[in-house]
Amino acid sequence: MHITHSKRIVALGVLAALTLTGCAAGSGTTTDGAASVDCTPSEGKVDLTYTSWIPGIDKVVDIWNKKNPDIQVTVQTGPNGNGGTYKNFFNQLNAGNAPDLGQIEYDALPNFRVQDGLTNIASCANVTESKDKFIDWTWNQVTFNEDDSVYAIPQDTGPMAMYYRKDLFEKAGIPIPTTWDEYAAAAAQIRDEGGYITNFPQNDVNWFAGLVWQADGEWFTNDGANWDVSLTSPESEKVADYWQDLIAGDLVSKVPAWTDEWNNAYNTGSDWTWISAVWGANSISSGAPDTSGKWAVAPMPQWNAGETAAGNWGGSSTAVLKGSAHPFEAAQFALWLNTDDEALTALNTEANLYPATKDGLTLPVLADGVEFYDNQKIYDVFADAANETNPDFTWGPTMTQTYSDVADGFGQVLGGTGTLGDALETGQTKTIAALEAAAIPVNK
C-alpha cells in the first residue's frame, strides 16, 4: 500500500519534470539568413500588441493610437528583459501567442535570432530605406550583417563618457584625464587625497564589455555559419590588465554597484569619476543628490592620445516577434516609435531614453544644459560618443551565461584571488561549452 503510494508520487514528479524540460528546450539553432516575410498591408483595422518594460511607454503609444485609428497598439508590460520578460517571450513563442512587437536589448537579440524568435521585416515598406537614419553600429545589431535582413528597429543607445567631480579635481589641482594613462596617474593622486577615482563593479560585465568595445575589441564574431568567441582577444586582455593594476594597487573602490553603499560613495565624494552611459546621468542625480552642480561630463579617456573612440553600454530595439499576423503594420509602428521626433522626444522625457537615430541626437530636449551638471550641455558629449562608437561590435547568443560566468570571476578578483584576465579566460571556456551544449556551431 505504502509502496504504490510513493511510486505514484514519483511518477507525478517525473511527469512534471518532463513537461518542464520539454518546454524549456530551444527550437531552432540556425544562423543563416531567414527568408523575409511577405510584407503586405492587412485589410481593415489592425490591433497590435507591444510588450515593453519602459516606464511610461503607454503615453508615447497613445500619440500613435490617436494618429492611426486603423492601427491600434496595446501596450503590455512586465519586468525588465532578464528579469522575466525574455523568458516569457520564449514561452509565448512556443505557445504561439507572442505579442506582435517586443522590446529586446541588443545583447539579447542574437539569442532570439538563434532560437528563431524574430520576423525578418526587410521587405516591409520603408524598413531597409531607413538604414541611414540610424547610428551605424545600431543597424548592424539588428541585421546581424546578414543580406536582406532586418530583425528589429533600433530604439535607444547608451554611449559612454566620463562623469567626474569637477570641483574635487579643481581643488586638488589634478588635470582631467584624457587618456587611460592619465586616468591611472590621476587615480594614484586621488588615492593620496583619500578618495577613489572610481568603483569597479563586479556584476556590470556589460559595462566592462563597453570598455573593450571602446578599445576596438570584440567578444563575438559570426561568419554566417560559425560563432567565434574572443573574450581573450588582445584588446580585451589590455583592458583587463589595465583595471587589474588599478584593483591590485587599491586605486578603485570595490562596492557592489547600484546599492546604497555605492550611492553613498558618490554622494559623499569618496568616488570621483564614473565611466558610464548617457542614462547614468540620472543614476548620479538621484543616487547622489547632495552633489548637485559639482559634476561634469568629458569624453572617455583614450588608449592613444588624440583619438576619439567611445564605447556603448546598454540600449534596446523594437523587434517584430515570430508569428505576428501583421508584420507590415508592426514594422511601421516600430519605425515611427524610434524615428519620429515627437515619439523620440516623448521617450526621452518619459523614460530618459537616448535615441538611436542620427537626427535624434539633435532633438531640442537634448540641447539644453542640465542643472545637476552645472548647466553643462552634457548631451553634446554623448552625441559625439554615439557617432564614435565602433560599428562592428557583436553580441553572442548566450550573453546571460557569459555575464554570470565572468561576473563570478570578477567577484573572486575583488575578493583578492585571481586576475581579470583569468576571469575572461574562464568566461571564454564556459561560453564555448554553453554554445556547444545548445548545439550552436562554434569555432574552438
Partner 1 sequence: MTATLTPKTTATKPERTVSGAPKEKLASRTAAMIIMGVSTLYFLVPIWWLFISSTKSRSDFGSTAGLWFADFNLFGNIKDLVEYNGGVYLRWMLNSVVYAGAGALLGTLFAAMCGYALAKYRFPGRELIFNVVLGGVLVPATALALPLFLIFSQFNATNTFWSVFLPSLVSPFGVYLARIFAAASVPDELLEAARLDGAGEVRTFFSVSRKLMTPALVTIFLFQFVAIWNNFFLPLIMLRDQNLFPVTLGLYTWNSQVNQIPEIRTFVIIGAFLSIIPLIIAFLSLQRFWRGGLGAGSVK
Question: Which CB sits closer to partner 1, 24 or 188?
Answer: 24
Please, which residues have CB within 8 angstroms of residue 293's CB and are 6 or more apart in sequence? 371, 372, 373, 374
Positions 392 through 411 that interact with partner 1 (CB under 8 A): none
Q: CB of 278: closest distance to partner 1 in angstroms? A: 12
Which region, judged by CB under 8 A, interacts with partner 1, from 260-268, 319-327, 390-398, 419-427?
A: 260-268
Between β-strands 160-165 and 295-298, what pairing exists: parallel, antiparallel or unpaired? antiparallel
Q: Say which amino acid occupies 265.
A: A
Binding mask 339-378 for partner 1 (x = CB under 8 A): ------------xx--------------------------
Position among 287, 301, 315, 327 found at the interface with partner 1 (CB under 8 A): 287
Question: According to the binding rule CB under 8 A, does residue 51 interact with partner 1?
Answer: yes
Which region, judged by CB under 8 A, interacts with partner 1, from 31-39, 49-57, 213-221, 430-438?
A: 49-57
Closest CA to 88 of 60, 61, 120, 52: 52
Greatest C-alpha distance within the chain = 84
Which region, judged by CB under 8 A, interacts with partner 1, from 14-22, 211-219, 358-366, 422-430?
A: 14-22
Gap between the Cα atoms of 121 and 92, Å rounded: 20
Which region, judged by CB under 8 A, interacts with partner 1, from 145-153, 279-287, 383-391, 423-431?
A: 279-287
3-state secondary structure 183-201: HHHHHHHHHHCCCECCECC
Question: According to the binding rule CB under 8 A, does residue 312 interact with partner 1?
Answer: no
Question: Which CB sits closer to partner 1, 5 or 45?
Answer: 5
Question: Which CB sits closer to partner 1, 95 or 248?
Answer: 95
Question: Which CB sits closer to partner 1, 101 or 124?
Answer: 101
Gap between the Cα atoms of 139 and 396, Å rounded: 16
Q: CB of 79: closest distance to partner 1 in angstroms? A: 4
Gap between the Cα atoms of 420 and 14, Å rounded: 42
Question: According to the binding rule CB under 8 A, does residue 205 interact with partner 1?
Answer: no
Closest CA to 310 of 390, 199, 201: 390
Question: According to the binding rule CB under 8 A, does residue 56 interact with partner 1?
Answer: yes
Positions 167 through 186 that interact with partner 1 (CB under 8 A): none
CA distances from 397 to 225, 436, 439 (A): 13, 11, 11
Q: CB of 103: closest distance to partner 1 in angstroms? A: 12
Helix, strand, coil percentages, rounded to 5, for the chain: 50, 15, 35
Position among 29, 76, 362, 429 found at the interface with partner 1 (CB under 8 A): 76
